Chain A
């Protein structure tokens, strides 16, 4: 064939772009390995595959074949969702060009640039994106450990733990006691424990109206506190006893064999005990050597770690500044990261980092509230630009619209993550 002038210019321009790309390899395509298929990892994998149109090899390592979203898992506890409503497979990502490997990443060799898999073998990478979510700090709640998580579920990684907590809730004796040990800052989903209290209260109000809820909290205040407390007084009067730091809520131990909780020395027998311990970055971040303390410090402009420019950490596991640890935040960070990674590997345009977050919470049927903010990258951190929060005393119409909006968001973000 003969090229016309326009095609010829186009071809040269493309070649020039390729030649100027900083990371083009002599053989094969550049490789990105993503560890963790949640809101951060799945989004990053999808956006890199989609944006590069096949120019980058993207592999996602995710042990589970079905992903249950932590967001909306409280609505499952409250009876607003079935467990399958919050379960998603990875077929959409695979169809979108992402090589999905169901395995555990158990090692990272940052010199050789490889990730070791539990099933044997290893994957080479040019850029590694870790989005492992959270693990729990050992010994954070006296008497509790992973061996006790069947007696006292955390239900803070959705799936079987959510189903277990729901089953325990259903089996509670009439007039029984549900206890929650709330986590210290920083932790995944700041309003999450309190939305959960609301959803448990809703379930009990319908099914076990004389039951009680005790919350032991090491914090003096919490996310959307005024909104939750207003809602609890309106919908669940006398049911919820929140014990904050001032009243010894931080001095807690549990005994999973006796099913007791000790709060500030006072021991109470309970029927269900939901222990949400202090959190840290998912283990693989620590194994990779990119953490400092419990979290992985990252650069705000592209989510690369302070420890290694070719290793990125997204979402809950990162220490980035002002953004809350939420699925929305992880999804937002993933897009900034994907844009930067594509730019580094193929020379595509890199645009300035913009981040945003909104967290919806359901307090009672058709009583939704939200809090959100926008963020920008500064040399020091991801810094808040502007924000808003639902107000106490809002009309029931507005609260209903807010809840309906959260339903729309759920469909939006899960499609955005998984295709």
Chain B
């Protein structure tokens, strides 16, 4: 196995002296979590792109920026919009990949447990930084709890209100699902729609127009939009 044990030791030593030591994940446990990723992603010395891109040096990297890997348009668009991989964005992505990029080809349901994500991120980080630079490099911050309140996901929106609100979307997003230059927003599962809107609202997704548009929608309005767009599908 290619896991460099000595690096892990150094990383652990440094993390124990850091102020946030209590909040760091456990990279040894993270290595176990990484088994779920290994069928598609390589990591460590000699890692290559497989079904997914290799994950060396992922911290601080712009999303979708390996020249020699074919990403989904959704990930390229997210990266062009300025999104980078850091502890917080990785955490959001790992919990629910489609919350960051609805059209990602990464067919992975996500890691529900905060602890698993924290550990995995700590493990990934070892392959990102020269140990000597770790204090200046990305902190492996605590995974913020951005789990959507189940009550929010359970909200039943008013489709008529959603239709009215949707007219603000269709100025840019074509109602028939065309996606030249601007992504399609029809035929989305309701939950994905809600997750995406909250990701913009909470600035987890990068696009300034969408951050602004979602930023002023309240829970009822997001539910209404999701209800409307879901009903369209049927």
Co-complex (A, B): yes
- Residues on A lying within 8 angstroms of B by beta carbon are 47, 328, 331-332, 335, 339, 349, 351, 354, 356, 358, 370, 372-374, 385-388, 397-398, 400-401, 404-409, 411-413, 415-416
Q: Knowing A408-B180, A411-B178, A411-B180 are in contact, say whether A401-B80 is a contact too (CB < 8 A).
A: yes
The total of Cβ contacts below 8 Å across the A-B interface reads: 89
Question: Do the beta carbons of B171 and A373 come within 8 Å of each other?
Answer: no
Specify which chain A residues have a CB less than 8 angstroms from the CB of B171 in the assembled complex.
328, 331-332, 356, 409, 412-413, 416
Q: Knowing A351-B164, A415-B175 are in contact, say whether A409-B212 is a contact too (CB < 8 A).
A: no
A412 shortest CB reach to chain B, Å: 5
**In whole angstroms, what is the CA distance A408 to B175 when docked?**
12
Specify which chain B residues have a CB less than 8 angstroms from the CB of A405 in the assembled complex.
172, 181-182
Question: Do the beta carbons of A412 and B174 come within 8 Å of each other?
Answer: yes
A347 shortest CB reach to chain B, Å: 13
Q: Knowing A339-B164, A358-B209 are in contact, say whether A386-B215 is a contact too (CB < 8 A).
A: yes
Question: Do the beta carbons of B175 and A406 come within 8 Å of each other?
Answer: no
Q: Kindly state whether residue B179 has any CB partner on chain A within 8 Å.
A: yes
Closest to A357 in B: B171
Closest to A375 in B: B216
Instruction: Name, among A373, A385, A405, A406, the residue most crowded by chain B CB atoms within 10 Å (CB to CB).
Output: A405
Specify which chain A residues have a CB less than 8 angstroms from the CB of B175 in the assembled complex.
415-416
Closest to B174 in A: A412
Question: Do the beta carbons of A356 and B213 come within 8 Å of each other?
Answer: yes
Interface residues in B156-202 by Cβ distance below 8 A to A read: 160-161, 164-165, 167-168, 170-176, 178-182
18 new A-B contacts, CB < 8 A, other than A331-B171, A405-B172, are A47-B167, A335-B167, A335-B168, A339-B164, A370-B209, A372-B212, A374-B212, A385-B216, A388-B209, A397-B80, A398-B82, A401-B80, A406-B181, A408-B174, A411-B174, A412-B170, A412-B171, A416-B170
B231 shortest CB reach to chain A, Å: 16
> What DSSP secondary structure best describes chain A's contact surface?
helix
Question: Do the beta carbons of B161 and A409 come within 8 Å of each other?
Answer: no
Of A331, A349, A409, A416, the residue contacting B181 (CB under 8 A) is: A409
Specify which chain B residues have a CB less than 8 angstroms from the CB of A387 in the assembled complex.
212
Question: Do the beta carbons of A407 and B176 come within 8 Å of each other?
Answer: no
For chain B, the count of residues having a C-beta within 8 Å of the partner chain is 29
Closest to B82 in A: A398
Specify which chain A residues have a CB less than 8 angstroms from the CB of B164 in the assembled complex.
335, 339, 351
B14 shortest CB reach to chain A, Å: 33
Question: Do the beta carbons of B165 and A415 come within 8 Å of each other?
Answer: no
**In whole angstroms, what is the CA distance A415 to B171 when docked?**
8
Question: Do the beta carbons of A332 and B181 come within 8 Å of each other?
Answer: no
Instruction: Name, among B170, B171, B173, B211, the residue most crowded by chain A CB atoms within 10 Å (CB to CB).
Output: B171
Q: Knowing A374-B216, A386-B216 are in contact, say whether A351-B182 is a contact too (CB < 8 A).
A: no
Specify which chain A residues have a CB less than 8 angstroms from the CB of B82 in the assembled complex.
398
Of A349, A354, A370, A374, the residue contacting B160 (CB under 8 A) is: A349
Question: Do the beta carbons of A412 and B161 come within 8 Å of each other?
Answer: no
Specify which chain B residues have a CB less than 8 angstroms from the CB of A404 in the assembled complex.
180-181
**In whole angstroms, what is the CA distance A397 to B215 when docked?**
25
Question: Do the beta carbons of A401 and B77 come within 8 Å of each other?
Answer: yes
Specify which chain B residues have a CB less than 8 angstroms from the CB of A409 in the assembled complex.
171-172, 181-182
Question: Do the beta carbons of A407 and B181 come within 8 Å of each other?
Answer: yes
**In whole angstroms, what is the CA distance A328 to B213 when docked?**
14
Of B80, B160, B179, B211, the residue contacting A408 (CB under 8 A) is: B179
Between-chain CB contacts (< 8 Å), 25 pairs: A47-B167, A328-B171, A332-B171, A354-B216, A356-B171, A358-B209, A372-B212, A373-B212, A374-B212, A374-B215, A374-B216, A387-B212, A388-B212, A398-B81, A400-B80, A401-B77, A404-B180, A406-B181, A407-B180, A408-B179, A408-B180, A408-B182, A412-B170, A416-B167, A416-B170
**In whole angstroms, what is the CA distance A335 to B160 when docked?**
14
**In whole angstroms, what is the CA distance A307 to B208 when docked?**
38
Specify which chain B residues have a CB less than 8 angstroms from the CB of A351 in the assembled complex.
161, 164-165
Question: Do the beta carbons of B168 and A354 come within 8 Å of each other?
Answer: yes
